[in-house]
Amino acid sequence: MKDRTQKNEMTDAAAFADKSATTTVEVPSAAVIPPRSPFSQLLGGDLGFLPVLLTLIVVAVFFGITTGGIFFQPRNISNLVVQISTIATLSVGVTLVLLLGEIDLSLASVSVLSGVVMGVLSERAHLPAGIAIIGAILSGSLIGFINGIIIAIIRVPSFIVTLAASIAYEGLLLYLLAGQSTLILNDPFINAISGSATSYLPDIYGVGLPTLVLLVYVGSLIWTHIKRQQAGLRTASLVQLVIQIVLTAILVEGTVILFESYLGVPYAAAILIGLILIVWFMLTKTPLGRHIYAVGGNAEASRRAGINVTGIRIAVFTLCSTLAAIGGIMAASHANSVASQISATLLLQAIAAAVIGGVSLFGGRGSVWSILLGALIIGSLENGLDLKSQGTEVKDMIEGLVLVLAVIVDALVRRAQTRSGR
């Protein structure tokens, strides 16, 4: 009886295969689909960054007009980039955590604490600058590792863990300063990172390094385009590729020319771009980056696919606090001191820069490059309002309003893209 049943099933399967082989599937003709213009192809991808870019342009043009052109002077632009370096560096760490669908509320405390560690090692223990900086970075990494262990293994919500950690680390930095509200940094190497008149790359590096990175980027675009064509995969049009290369070249070389017309490329800007390049490469070109996006998109599916979700979470929180430590070092160098006071807006600005740049609060979506737009909007608002001698109350109201509008427009565009199937 069993053999007869198996024989019938095999007969049915064979009949189905024969029927499928003789079935003609009508494929719609390509002529029915109206061709898209190169411009529409260029804008056919993710438009989430465009509202933020337009917001940045509007803010810059407004302050450029109302300040009589002072806002666009090379000196002011250079200072603006140095000022946002700390926020942007913290935002890179925030991006990694948000990609997992988690949150880290201890970033500001970790940043200041790491700066204090560096200051204490340098000024009180009289250790060389290199050792003091390494000690500060390692302290941030250790803090992130502890946070990750509690969140990933003990499974305490990240909101609770990092909020409690923020309070604890704030107390620890007060203990390290031993009642001293401000500790002056006298080491010339530390102050040269972003706090002195010599904190600029020599012209050969300030011009050569960005140009080299640009050439590598253009080469990778062309190589990827050719490989995808050879593999029969969907590729961008030639017009779109050329426009992307030209716009990138104009942006990079224009920024370099602007910096070089003042004192050169600031060390802080070089460090920030270097960190973004490293994190971008990790997220887009390595298994770790693909796993981060996968875990943020669906942790359970990632676990069933064999991804070490626990290890990914620990690694991300460790990297996040490490980047916060680097941001704290840059902030301490810029101020030539470390203080017991933690900025009340540093954490919120770091998170806002990432979210405005298009990083999803629910995980699995976002680009590390786009946070520059968010950080530049925040920095431009503060810088422009300072040039207009506006009070703190005006700055807070305008910053909050612009940030909310940028997020609303970004959300509306993304919703429209979802409805249109893009």
Long-range Cβ pairs for the range 360-364 (8 Å, 24+): 360/98, 360/99, 361/98, 361/101, 362/101, 363/98, 363/99, 363/100, 363/101, 363/102, 363/295, 363/296, 363/297, 364/99, 364/101, 364/293, 364/294, 364/296, 364/297, 364/298
Q: Give CA–CA dist 255/206, Å, rounded.
A: 11
The stretch 124-133 carries a mean pLDDT of 93
Residue ranges per structural domain of the chain: 48-199+266-413, 200-265
pLDDT at 71 over 70: yes
Smallest Cα–Cα separation from 340: which of 180, 136, 168? 180
Collapse the DSSP code of 88 into the 3-class scheme (helix H, G, I; strand E, B; otherwise coil) and give the result. helix
pLDDT at 26 over 60: no
Q: How many alpha carbons lie under 13 Å from residue 178 in its C-beta half-sphere?
A: 5
Report which secondary-structure segment, H or E, holds 95: helix 74-99
198, 192 contact by CB (below 8 A): yes
How do residues 307-363 score in pLDDT, each as one tens digit?
A: 999 999 999 999 999 999 999 999 999 888 998 888 878 888 888 888 887 787 777
> Which residues are paired to 200 by β-bridges?
266
pTM here?
0.81
Residue 144 identity: G
pLDDT band at 39 (very low <50, low <70, confident <90, very high): very low
pLDDT at 14 over 50: no
**CATH class given for the domain over 48-199+266-413:** mainly alpha
Predicted confidence at residue 35, as pLDDT, reads: 41
How do residues 239-283 score in pLDDT, each as one tens digit?
A: 888 888 888 888 888 888 988 888 888 888 889 999 998 998 899
Predicted confidence at residue 397, as pLDDT, reads: 82
Q: Give CA–CA dist 366/313, Å, rounded.
A: 17
Predicted confidence at residue 195, as pLDDT, reads: 64
